Each structure stands twice: as C-alpha cells, then as structure tokens.
Structure 1
C-alpha cells in the first residue's frame, strides 16, 4: 500500500485555488488542477524512517561512523542512498527486541527503534532477524576456518541451536510488524533481505572452509530470507533482495562483491555488505517503490 500525504504547503495551495475558476483555454478542470498539486506536493519519502541491524547500518569502512559505541551506523549505507532525508535508527547488533523495547548496555540506554514512528510516517525500511539467530556467529565460525583447517564443521557445532532460533523467529517478526502498524499504520514498509556472504562451488577466498559448511551457510541464508519474506507478506509489506545476489558473494572478484566475509579487498566491514552491496540494495528498494534515482 502506497500512502498519499498532503503536506501543509499543498493544503495552502488547494485553499488558495478554491475560489478561482480554471482557465478555459487550458482545457483543465478544477479536479485536474487539484490532482496535479497533490502529486507535486507529496512523496512516499516525505517521512522516511530506517530501522534494523548492521546489514542496513554499516556502509563502507571509509565512511564516518556515528551513534553510540554499541549502536554504530555509517554514512553510505543503503537507507541514505534510498533518500538523503532519512531518519536512520539502524543499529549495529540490533535484534527484534531492540525495535520494540529500549536497548541498554551498562548505564547507557537507547529508546526502542519503533518509538520514533508516528502516524505521519510515510516509508519504513526494515532489516532485522539475522542477529536473533546468531547469524554473525555462524559467519564468524566460517571466517575462522578460512585460514585454519579444523576437524569440526560449523554446522555440527551450531545447527541445533540455530534451528531452534529459526523456529522462534516468525512470531518475533510478527511483533515487529504489528508494532510498526500500530504506530505508522499508513506507512509503506519495505523489508530488505540479507545479501549472502558465501556460495558453493569454486571459491579460493574461503580457503579451508569445508564444502559442508559452505553449503549449510548458503542454505541458512536462504532460510532466513524466506522467513523474513514470509513475515513481510503476512503483513502486506514489500520484500526486497537484489537480483542475482548469490553471484556477488565473497566468492566473486572483489569489485563484484555485494557482501564480503573478510572485507580487506573491498573496504567493507567483515561479514557485511560492501559499498556496492548497499548501492545494489538501495537501487532495488527504489525500483520496488518506483522512485527515480
């Protein structure tokens, strides 16, 4: 659902035209004029709020960081590329609970991300769910095995725990979507998927990582994205993931990577999207919303 919001300036224009007759020579009716004024004065990005975790928050390492030490975000992330005038609440390490409740570390507390939403919000982008599963732990385990061959596969160590957490994720996502709807019922919600870090097949970048672990990581990423997508569909939100994302993993040449497990060749944060990945995600979001670049 796309929201149409008439801004204060549009209301003034409409009021000013109320007592005027349209120019007969123009061929326009008063209804035509009102429609043109409304379209010119409204935008889905009028009040844009970005919510979520570090997959949305962290752009390239060459970009300045801002936020609390336990809730960092950087310039050049996909929310900023979707629209410069964004209220960016994305947060490094965020889980679903951090959107619904205050996040505390020691004596520092951040409000719940959803608290910023109001009935005037027109657009919400959302990246959440991966940290609830400990996906970073999975990626970190695989990263450790790039340089050092071990007898233990990550899938053997983590699959049971991750599977249990994956089963618990749908109701947690439902709570987030319901919270957004309660606070910003007319907003268009766009849920962004997780760009895959690894792929199967030939991949020198993954060194000693076993094919078993690589296959599991690919399947797990797909399961997370399916779960996030299904939750979006249950709540009438759009789900967005760039086409051919699986061709732009750490196994692709550095200049073609949209996510990178090491980050050294792409100036990305390890286990996160690259600058090109943020650009690809922003383009996919804008395309889904039919926004001009």
Structure 2
C-alpha cells in the first residue's frame, strides 16, 4: 500500500496524508463521547472564574465566597438543561495547579471527580499565563502602573503539561466520563477597538496573542488526550466586547471586567447541550 501511495502525484499524496491524520485524530476520541447522558448523571465542573461566573448573578449559597460561583454560570445552566447532578468545583483565580492540588483551605478541584462521574467540563489556563491579570493592569492609569509580567515558553510548557495531567487524572478517576475542555470567550476583537476596550496597540496585540495561544493549546490537549472541545472563543467571534451583543465585557462593566457576561455563560451552556445531547 505504501508503494502505491508513493506512486501518486504529490497533491493526492498530501490529501491521503491529511485524511489519515484526521482519521487518526478521530480514533483517539473517548468511546464515551457519543454515549447519551442519562438524567441524574454526575457532572463535575472544574476551572477558573470563566467557569464560576464572576459577577454575573447571586453567589450560590454554601459555596466558598472567594470562588464567586454564581447561580447562572454555565455549569449550572447546563446541569439544569440536561437534568444532571452538578458538583461545581470551579473557583475564581484558579490555575491548573489548583485543579491538580489543594489551594489554601480548598481541596484540589480534581478530588471532586468520582468513579461514577459521567461528565467533566474544564475551563482553565488564563491565570497560569496572566491573561486576565494583564487585562486588569491596562485599567491602571498613571506613571506608577505596573507593566505586564513576562510569560516564558517554560510557563506555557508547564501549562500544557498540567492540562494534559488534568485530562489523564479525569480519565483515571472516572473512566466512563465525557471530558470537555471549554476554552475562553473572545473579549478583544481582531479589528478596530471601541471605547469599552481602551487598550493601546501593544496591549491589544499581547492580549490577542495570549488568547490565540490559549485556544490552540487547549485544542491540542483535547485532541491528543481523547477529550472533547467546545471552542467558545471561535463561537464568540461576533460577540466580543465591542459587538452589539457581547458575550464578554471589558471596562467599565456591570459585573466583573474582562469576563464573560450572563449571555456568554448561557451561550456556552446552549452549545454544550447541543454537543452532548444533539437532537
């Protein structure tokens, strides 16, 4: 067969190679990805404030106040939509290290994943590389404002290694669970900025680059580790902070600046429901 392929014109050989690569990627997807989620299935949500729902509604009673879990974040909307039993371990400010290990008084988020878990969603990574931190720094005015802290290739490598470990830990703890990585909603448009996004060209370029690199890294980890991906960033291309229907907001903001809006969380929940329970 190899000799037959080599005799083909180069354009056909490239098409064959691309097709085989696509098929190989499909083969690594978890066999549980296409299985339905029965009502009452255990669902565990992991992640940072982009999962917890910073500032978009009332805090859920009985949850750690500093985590900022709101009653209308995407995990709760999804659980209600599909009739799932939710354990929300997400927490504002969390990094991948806080999913894998304890964080002060909080246990490791991954500890919430039990053998009978059937769904795990993960939105994480921005705090590891200062994505939101740098955006908050742009709100500072004056000569004493701190500059963006450098993020090295080693920092990105650590983030990727930790995200892969999260996927493997989920699969080890809950072999029958669907694992879905949900990347970050778009805030900064690729085109012209608006008054709500008052960044200078260097700040905007840095934010866009981190956004793209986070999305690329998340997609690569999901593909390689056999997980599913919800590309929230791509889905929100027309719903950035300068759009007429923003799914994320800049500054000033009614809720948390540089975070998803209630509409953004609802959109993610809708997209996940369509992915997990297609009609």
Band the TM-score falls in, shorter-chain normalisation: 0.7 to 0.9
Query: Which of 272, 280, 284 is 2:267 aligned to?
Result: 280
Query: In the alignment, which residue of structure 2 is the partner of 1:188?
Result: 178
CA distance in 2, matches of 1:142, 1:92: 20
CA distance in 2, matches of 1:257, 1:248: 4
Cα 1:52/1:183, change in 2 over 3 Å: same
Q: Is contact 1:200-1:211 (8 Å) kept? A: no
CA drift at 1:61:
3.4
Q: Is contact 2:99-2:110 (8 Å) kept? A: yes
Cα 1:74/1:111, change in 2 over 3 Å: same
Q: Which has the larger radius of gyration?
A: 1
CA drift at 1:206:
4.3
CA drift at 1:185:
1.4
Query: In the alignment, which residue of structure 1 is the partner of 2:71?
Result: 75
CA distance in 2, matches of 1:44, 1:79: 15
Q: Is contact 1:268-1:275 (8 Å) kept? A: no
Stretches (4+) displaced over 3 A = 1-4, 59-62, 148-154
Higher RCO (CA 8 Å, separation ≥ 6 residues): 2
Q: TM-score, normalised by structure 2?
A: 0.78
Mapping of residues 153-164 of structure 1, within 5 Å? 157-158=148-149, 160-161=150-151, 163-164=153-154
**Alpha-carbon deviations, 1:241-275, whole Å to 9, x = none?**
2444122111113xx111112252xx331111001
CA distance in 1, matches of 2:109, 2:142: 41
Q: TM-score, normalised by structure 1?
A: 0.74
Cα 1:82/1:207, change in 2 over 3 Å: closer
Query: In the alignment, which residue of structure 2 is the partner of 1:101?
Result: 101
Determine whether 1:215 maps to 2:211.
no
CA drift at 1:218:
1.3
Query: Which of 212, 215, 218 is 1:228 aligned to?
Result: 218
Cα 1:86/1:3, change in 2 over 3 Å: same
Query: In the alignment, which residue of structure 2 is the partner of 1:116?
Result: 112
Determine whether 1:58 maps to 2:53.
yes
Equivalent residue of 2:117, what SS? coil
Determine whether 1:261 maps to 2:261.
no
Cα 1:168/1:287, change in 2 over 3 Å: same
Query: In the alignment, which residue of structure 1 is the partner of 2:237?
Result: 246
Cα 1:151/1:101, change in 2 over 3 Å: closer
Stretch deviating more after TM superposition (176-185 or 186-195):
176-185
Alpha-carbon RMSD: 2.7
CA distance in 2, matches of 1:151, 1:71: 29
The runs of 5 or more residues in structure 1 that have no matched partner are 5-37
CA distance in 1, matches of 2:249, 2:96: 24
Residues matched between the structures, number: 243
CA drift at 1:134:
1.7
Determine whether 1:202 maps to 2:192.
yes
